[in-house]
């Protein structure tokens, strides 16, 4: 789960990272009030989780409270990559002398938490990785000892932190590290970390991505989830215990297992169609979860056909088939449905599906082809 | 011959009295796996699986009483790291953890402790390993296999079953099938299993099932190019997956240009591995490579 900038900064500030916190505003008037309290020039920043908000006009400078109100009016309601801006951060503007990149990540290849640092801050780190990989330091932390003084020094010297700021830099890196481990993060990033014209070291922007598996033990972080940023269908899926990502195609997919779900999408594409979603219904799915999955899929008006691909494994295929037939009778919208159930009791499952007039398929390739054909026909056919 | 699990496996199941643990332990017994003990703290002295398996409070006691030499873990995510550490502490050389949803930082600690002790960890969040006709440890359905010359390693669950079923339907049997798990931090990598299969005299050909994310497949490709002379086929899931849904900025840096399905396919093909567009194509690619 990604946290908004202002949430990430709250957490970093709590761990002693120096930053200009600013205030959150949801109306132009609030932005004006915030700017007045801050005094001096401010920056008005859209709080969205998608990248590229600056280019989309979501970050603007304002010299006065009146101007902050005007900028807030422009940014609120803006559509940035499909997300409507509802929240702003109004923060003191900083005169930047130097920008750095600093992050900790869960590094699956190194089997460690790794510090990533670059003196080329303010740009996307992927861009730096492409153009000048030598400008990036990667320092895996020993799992036994974590971040030690020598590690702090190594990163500081690599970045060329001025001598008078080394002590401040140590608290930034220590604070970022504590925030990473304290929140069970996958990523904790400061970009840019800046030195101002007046010689202060400050975190100007921050991003924390949390490990979803650790969220159950961090209810205070779960409470920071921004439902405005989620597709309503994705929220509904999460609450039903279904893994779902909306895509742009016309063929809704319902599959058990993430790898098989991705494969099903790939084969839809290979058969000339476009998947409408990724959907992993999880193990041991019962009729109610099947029904929830159907509702979520059909909530997307682009969906013209549904492809169900279940590898029953130890789950009985006939039970899954009954679940599908039951769930289907409760649906409000009728679209062609291609169902493939493999594994235990697949023959009984096929019979149940045939009696219910569902299109069945033996192989996954065949199922994908039938779904693509069904989606290109008139809605409601078959 | 086989790898990891077989006739000599004396299995202990941690979480044997739980819903999942009990269900799958029955299936393992039915397959012929020797389950010698179960562990559920507080239920020591009882028995499980229709009185066929004694239950102990601790792993160390179970090992002392039964000579167990491998553990399969079904306990919930909140307790699974402790269960893995307990198995390692009791000296078990092989731990297969089925549990999904374990926090990554917990897994990092477990990974390094087990590695330092020389314990082979498979998973977590994996379907387990089956040596066909000998032993199944985990949740891979026993009915999908037939004995034969092909070894398989995969990061997925049901996708593995799909590929195994396709091979079995085409008359291509298997030696050992291993699911290494889809979590960011897993105990055993593709390369580890490829090395074992490559050395296994009964395995004449190898199938690798990968998916997008990370760079384990790229490392596997490098290993194949350098070490593996047995015929190989592969499938990589996720060609149509949207980029960046789960990766932060620095996550993408880990993979650099790698991590996409296309880069993984290209790396494997460059290493001489035949890469299929669909799981159903795996058997014919193996046939083309001379496997029968």
What local confidence, expressed as pLDDT, does residue B258 receive?
56
pLDDT confidence tier of residue A378, bands split at 50, 70 and 90: very low
What local confidence, expressed as pLDDT, does residue A114 receive?
96
CA of B87 to nearest chain A CA: how many angstroms apart? 20
- Please tell me whether residues B150 and B284 are part of one structural domain: yes
| Facing residue for B156 by CB, picked from A51, A186, A257 | A257
**Contacts (Cβ under 8 Å, ≥6 apart) of A168:** A18, A200, A201
- Please tell me whether residues B104 and B235 are part of one structural domain: no
Site of tokens 């090395």: B195
Cα separations in angstroms, A177 against A180, A187, A349? 5, 10, 53
Mean pLDDT for the stretch of residues A300-311: 94
pLDDT confidence tier of residue B252, bands split at 50, 70 and 90: very low
Of the candidate ranges A61-65, A122-126, A288-292, B286-290, the one whose mean pLDDT is the lowest: A122-126
- Please tell me whether residues B116 and B196 are part of one structural domain: no
What local confidence, expressed as pLDDT, does residue B3 receive?
96
CA of A96 to nearest chain B CA: how many angstroms apart? 22
* Chain A residue closest in CA terms to B252: A126
Q: Is A186 on the interface with B (CB under 8 A)?
A: yes
Mean pLDDT for the stretch of residues A262-266: 94
- Please tell me whether residues B154 and B230 are part of one structural domain: yes
pLDDT confidence tier of residue B1, bands split at 50, 70 and 90: low
* Chain A residue closest in CA terms to B77: A213
Cβ separation B253–A136 shorter than 8 A = yes
Q: Is pLDDT above 60 for B227?
A: yes
In the three-class reduction of DSSP (H, G, I as helix; E, B as strand; rest coil), residue A45 is classed as strand
* C-beta separation of B105 from A143 below 8 A: no
- For residue A147, what is the enclosing H or E element? none
- Please tell me whether residues B278 and B157 are part of one structural domain: yes
- Please tell me whether residues B252 and B147 are part of one structural domain: yes
Q: Is A203 on the interface with B (CB under 8 A)?
A: no
Class of the CATH-defined domain A231-376: alpha beta
**Contacts (Cβ under 8 Å, ≥6 apart) of B19:** none
Burial A124-141 (b: 16+ CB within 10 A, else e): ebbebbeeeeeebbbbeb
CA distance B125 to A146: 26
For B:165-224, CB contacts with A below 8 A are 165, 182, 184-185, 209, 211-212, 214-216, 219
CA of A256 to nearest chain B CA: how many angstroms apart? 7
pTM over 0.90: yes
Mean pLDDT for the stretch of residues A131-154: 94
The CATH architecture one would assign to domain A96-222 is 2-Layer Sandwich (3.30)
Domain borders along chain A are 21-92, 96-222, 231-376
Q: Is B116 on the interface with A (CB under 8 A)?
A: no
* Chain B residue closest in CA terms to A112: B108
What local confidence, expressed as pLDDT, does residue A6 receive?
96
Full domain range(s) for residue B221: 140-288
pLDDT confidence tier of residue B245, bands split at 50, 70 and 90: low
* C-beta separation of A37 from A30 below 8 A: no
Mean pLDDT for the stretch of residues B30-40: 97
Q: Is pLDDT above 90 for A287?
A: no
Q: Is pLDDT above 50 for A207?
A: yes
- Please tell me whether residues B277 and B155 are part of one structural domain: yes
Bridge partners of B234? B208, B275
Q: What is the CATH number of the domain that holds B180?
A: 3.40.50.261
What local confidence, expressed as pLDDT, does residue B230 receive?
97
Of the candidate ranges A175-189, A224-238, B135-149, the one whose mean pLDDT is the lowest: A224-238
- Please tell me whether residues B56 and B98 are part of one structural domain: yes
- Please tell me whether residues B118 and B50 are part of one structural domain: yes
| Facing residue for A363 by CB, picked from B157, B216, B280 | B280
Of the candidate ranges A320-334, B22-36, B75-89, B219-233, the one whose mean pLDDT is the lowest: A320-334
CA of B165 to nearest chain A CA: how many angstroms apart? 9
In the three-class reduction of DSSP (H, G, I as helix; E, B as strand; rest coil), residue A218 is classed as coil
Average pLDDT, chain A: 91
| Residues of A belonging to the active site | 101, 189
Q: Is pLDDT above 80 for A316?
A: no
Cβ separation B108–A213 shorter than 8 A = no
* Chain B residue closest in CA terms to A265: B240
Top residue of A146, A213, A344 to mutate, by most chain B CBs within 10 Å, is A213
CA of A175 to nearest chain B CA: how many angstroms apart? 18
Closest residue by Cα to residue B160 from B243, B245, B282: B282
Residue B4 located in a structural domain: no
Better-scored residue on pLDDT, A30 or B249: A30
Cβ separation A213–B165 shorter than 8 A = no
Average pLDDT, chain B: 92
pLDDT confidence tier of residue B253, bands split at 50, 70 and 90: very low
What local confidence, expressed as pLDDT, does residue B134 receive?
97
Mean pLDDT for the stretch of residues A295-322: 86
User: What is the C-alpha end-to-end distance of chain B, expressed in Å?
Assistant: 18
Q: Is pLDDT above 90 for A129?
A: no
Better-scored residue on pLDDT, A87 or A21: A87
- Please tell me whether residues B204 and B118 are part of one structural domain: no
Task: Identify the top-confidence range among A189-198, A338-347, B242-251.
Answer: A189-198
- Please tell me whether residues B152 and B202 are part of one structural domain: yes
**Contacts (Cβ under 8 Å, ≥6 apart) of A347:** none
CA distance B106 to B46: 31
Query: Over pLDDT 90: what percentage of chain B?
Result: 84
Q: Is pLDDT above 90 for A97?
A: yes
Q: Is pLDDT above 50 for B247?
A: no
Cα separations in angstroms, B125 against A283, B73, B77? 12, 10, 10
Q: Is pLDDT above 60 for B139?
A: yes
For residue A111, list chain B residues with Cβ-Cβ distance below 8 A.
Answer: 108, 111-112, 185
Residue B70 located in a structural domain: yes
- Token code pair at residue B227: 């070490």
Query: Over pLDDT 90: what percentage of chain A?
Result: 67
| Facing residue for B158 by CB, picked from A116, A245, A257 | A257
Q: Is pLDDT above 60 for B257?
A: no
Residue B129 located in a structural domain: no
Q: Is A262 on the interface with B (CB under 8 A)?
A: yes
What local confidence, expressed as pLDDT, does residue A330 receive?
82
What local confidence, expressed as pLDDT, does residue B249 receive?
28
pLDDT confidence tier of residue A243, bands split at 50, 70 and 90: confident
Q: Is pLDDT above 70 for A22?
A: yes
Residue B3 located in a structural domain: no
Query: Over pLDDT 70: what percentage of chain A?
Result: 97
* Chain B residue closest in CA terms to A284: B20
Site of tokens 């869960």: A106
Question: B184-196 pLDDT, tens per residue?
Answer: 899 999 999 999 9
Fold of the domain built from segment(s) A21-92: Dna Ligase; domain 1 (3.30.1490)
Q: Is A219 on the interface with B (CB under 8 A)?
A: no
What local confidence, expressed as pLDDT, does residue A328 receive?
84
Closest residue by Cα to residue A283 from B99, B38, B163: B99
- Please tell me whether residues B242 and B155 are part of one structural domain: yes
Question: B47-90 pLDDT, tens per residue?
Answer: 999 989 999 999 999 999 999 999 999 999 999 999 999 999 99
| Facing residue for B159 by CB, picked from A189, A259, A269 | A259
For residue B77, list chain A residues with Cβ-Cβ distance below 8 A.
Answer: 213
What local confidence, expressed as pLDDT, does residue A382 receive?
42
Of the candidate ranges A22-31, A60-69, A205-214, A370-379, the one whose mean pLDDT is the lowest: A370-379
């Amino acid at each position: 789960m990604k946290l908004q900038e202002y949430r990430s900064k709250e957490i970093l500030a709590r761990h002693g990272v120096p930053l200009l916190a600013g205030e959150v505003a949801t109306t132009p008037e609030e932005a004006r009030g915030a700017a007045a309290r801050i005094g001096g020039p401010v920056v008005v920043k859209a709080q969205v989780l998608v990248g590229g908000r600056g280019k989309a006009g979501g970050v603007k400078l304002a010299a006065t409270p009146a101007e902050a109100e005007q900028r807030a009016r422009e940014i609120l309601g803006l559509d940035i990559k499909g997300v409507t801006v509802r929240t702003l951060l109004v923060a003191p503007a900083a005169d930047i002398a130097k920008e750095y990149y600093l992050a900790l990540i869960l590094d699956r290849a190194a089997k460690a938490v790794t510090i990533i640092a670059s003196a080329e801050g303010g740009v996307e780190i992927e861009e730096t990785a492409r153009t000048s990989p030598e400008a990036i330091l990667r320092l895996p932390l020993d799992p036994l000892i974590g971040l030690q003084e020598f590690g702090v020094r190594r990163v500081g010297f690599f970045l060329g932190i001025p001598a008078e700021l080394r002590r401040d830099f140590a608290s930034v890196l220590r604070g970022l590290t504590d925030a990473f481990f304290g929140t069970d993060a996958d990523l904790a990033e400061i970009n840019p970390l800046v030195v101002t014209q007046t010689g202060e070291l400050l975190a100007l922007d921050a991003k924390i991505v949390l490990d979803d598996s650790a969220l159950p033990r961090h209810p205070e972080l779960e409470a920071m989830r921004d439902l405005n940023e989620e597709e309503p269908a994705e929220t509904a899926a999460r609450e039903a215990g279904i893994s779902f990502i909306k895509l742009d195609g016309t063929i809704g997919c319902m599959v058990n297992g993430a790898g098989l779900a991705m494969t099903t999408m790939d084969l839809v594409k290979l058969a000339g169609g476009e998947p409408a979603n990724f959907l992993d219904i999880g193990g041991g799915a019962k009729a109610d979860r099947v029904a929830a999955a159907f509702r979520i899929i059909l909530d997307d008006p682009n969906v013209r056909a549904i492809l169900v691909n279940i590898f029953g494994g130890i789950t009985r295929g006939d039970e899954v088939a009954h679940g599908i037939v039951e769930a289907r009778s409760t649906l409000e919208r009728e679209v062609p449905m291609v169902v493939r159930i493999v594994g235990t009791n697949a023959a009984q499952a096929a019979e149940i599906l045939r009696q219910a007039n569902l299109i069945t398929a033996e192989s996954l390739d065949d199922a994908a082809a039938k779904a693509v054909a069904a989606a290109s026909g008139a809605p409601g056919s078959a | 011959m086989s790898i990891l699990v077989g006739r000599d496996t004396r299995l202990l199941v941690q979480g044997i009295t739980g819903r999942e643990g009990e269900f799958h332990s029955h299936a393992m017994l039915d397959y012929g796996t020797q389950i010698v003990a179960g562990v559920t703290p507080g239920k020591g002295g009882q028995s499980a699986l229709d009185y066929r398996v004694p239950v102990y409070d601790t792993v160390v006691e179970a090992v002392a009483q039964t000579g167990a030499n491998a553990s399969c873990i079904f306990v919930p995510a909140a307790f699974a790291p402790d269960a893995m550490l307990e198995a390692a502490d009791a000296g078990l050389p092989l731990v297969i953890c089925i549990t999904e949803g374990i926090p990554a930082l917990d897994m990092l600690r477990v990974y390094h402790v087990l590695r330092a002790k020389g314990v082979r960890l498979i998973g977590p969040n994996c379907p387990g390993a089956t040596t066909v006709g000998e032993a199944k440890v985990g949740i891979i359905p026993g009915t999908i296999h037939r004995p034969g010359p092909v070894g398989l390693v995969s990061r997925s669950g049901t996708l593995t079953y799909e590929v195994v079923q396709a091979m079995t339907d085409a008359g291509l049997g298997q030696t050992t099938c291993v699911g290494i798990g889809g979590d960011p931090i897993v105990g055993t990598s593709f390369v580890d299993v490829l090395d074992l299969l490559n050395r296994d005299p009964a395995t004449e050909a190898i199938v690798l099932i990968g998916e997008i994310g990370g760079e384990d497949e790229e490392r596997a490709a490098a290993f194949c190019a350098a070490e593996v002379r047995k015929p190989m086929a592969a499938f990589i899931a996720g060609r149509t997956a949207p980029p960046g849904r789960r990766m932060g900025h620095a996550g993408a840096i880990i993979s650099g240009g790698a991590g996409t399905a296309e880069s993984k396919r290209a790396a494997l093909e460059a290493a001489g591995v035949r890469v299929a567009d669909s799981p159903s194509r795996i058997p014919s690619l193996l046939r083309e490579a001379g496997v029968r």
